[in-house]
Structure 1
Amino acid sequence: MNLQHHFLIAMPTLQDPLFKRSVVYICEHNSDGAMGIIVNKPMENLTVDGILQKLKISPAPRDSEAKLDKPVFAGGPLAEDRGFILHSAQKTFSSSIRVSDNTVITTSRDVLETLGTPEQPEHVLVALGYCAWEKDQLETELLENAWLTTPANSNILFHTRIAERWREAAKSIGVDIHNIASDAGHA
């Protein structure tokens, strides 16, 4: 089973505050483990424009229609000071890794320098930090029913309202996440 370019959808029973009601986009999954970015937990009071200002990146020429007031996401508990940019695949950068035909993850500054300019990728999601699972750890969590999985789609990743991504990701596989019991009974 390879879950690269899939969403992990937290089950209602998953109560860890970081992962509760989370949607994780899996960027890499192989026999050594998995790596992903939480895509529905925006950081408080931090926008893409704020990141660019902190890094002293001033887009030029600036595209007047560019929306840099988008939130930055808390991508996970590891390397929380490191940026991970998920974006559409029309263009790659110095440290881009293609996750799927349509989605790339980049960690280099050069992608940030295009934001707000005509050169930026069409769709962009900026996160600080990432999630990782060691060998067989994710598979164990799946067997314990901590997560649902579904192939990722760019509509949920880039266009669905943040507050609705958890519900919409589950809905994409026919699950009404709010109707799943959070406690199991014993007879």
Structure 2
Amino acid sequence: MQDFQDHFLIAMPALDDPMFKRSVTYICEHSAEGAMGIVINHPLNVTVADLLKQLQIEFDGKSQVARSAVCAGGPVQSDRGFVLHSPKGGYSSTLELNNGLMVTTSKDILMDLTTPAAPEKFLLALGYAGWTAGQLEQEIADNSWLVIPADNSIIFDLIHAEKWQTATGKMGIKPWQLTTEAGHA
């Protein structure tokens, strides 16, 4: 079984599910039981400040972070926050990933986001994408996704609108070159 952990799934043009259309998904975990990932380029009409207000967490309203958009991380547990971030421990529920990344789901990280105690780089998403055993492999075989090694600069350093095109460009492909037809030799 190929391991897609620490890879991006780049949605092919034929994938027109609104949750995944032109999406880039970071795969946090992948095993024989299935996969879990976070869509990194679908901003919601919700800012970090909006979310912190709703949760009654104090924050610095002048912070640039407070104005940044929260992403729709996927259709599973879309009422739950997932913070994909650069290394910073000390939170009560953090999973250490590959490539110097962590994902934290506990509320304690939210209290840090607009303060100097925040991780250097992070992306806040509501929900995640999940696949059952064999489902992701089948979707890849069906030409729904391109797969490339993840690149932290795409996650953290680009505006959301540039992530899909930049990720496809890493493969040497221009978006207009993608077809909806699957080819199997």
**Per-residue CA shift, 1:142-175, capped at 9, x if unaligned?**
1111100111111100111111100111111211
- Greater Cα shift, 84-93 or 5-14: 84-93
Distance 1:175 1:120 in 2: 36
Aligned match of 1:7? 8
Q: Is the 8 A contact 2:65 2:113 kept in 1?
A: no
- CA-atom RMSD in angstroms: 1.7
- Residue 34 of structure 1 and its aligned partner are, at CA, apart by 0.1
**One-letter amino acid of the counterpart of residue 142, structure 1:** I
Q: Would you say how many aligned residue pairs link Structure 1 and Structure 2?
A: 182
| Equivalent residues in 2 for 1:48-127, closer than 5 Å | 48-59=48-59, 62=60, 66-127=64-125
Mapped partners of 2:158, 2:129: distance in 1:
22
Counterpart of 1:39 in structure 2 is 40
Contact 2:83 2:123 in 1 (8 A): yes
Say whether the 8 Å CA contact 1:10–1:22 is kept in structure 2.
yes
Instruction: Structure 2: state its 5+ residue gaps.
Output: none
Q: Is the 8 A contact 1:89 1:101 kept in 2?
A: no
Q: Secondary structure at the match of 2:166?
A: helix
Residue type of the alignment partner of 2:27: I
SS in 2 for 1:68: helix
What is the DSSP-based 3-state SS (H/G/I as helix, E as strand, rest coil) of the residue aligned with 1:112?
Answer: helix
* Residue identity opposite 1:149 in structure 2: V
The answer to whether the 8 A contact 2:143-2:182 is kept is: no
- Residue type at the aligned position of 1:35: M
Q: TM-score, normalised on structure 1?
A: 0.91
Q: 1:63·1:118 contact (CA, 8 Å) conserved in 2? A: no
TM-score w.r.t. the length of structure 2 is 0.92
Matching residue of 2:136: 138
- CA offset digits 1:85-114 (Å, max 9, x no partner): 101113341100011141100000111011
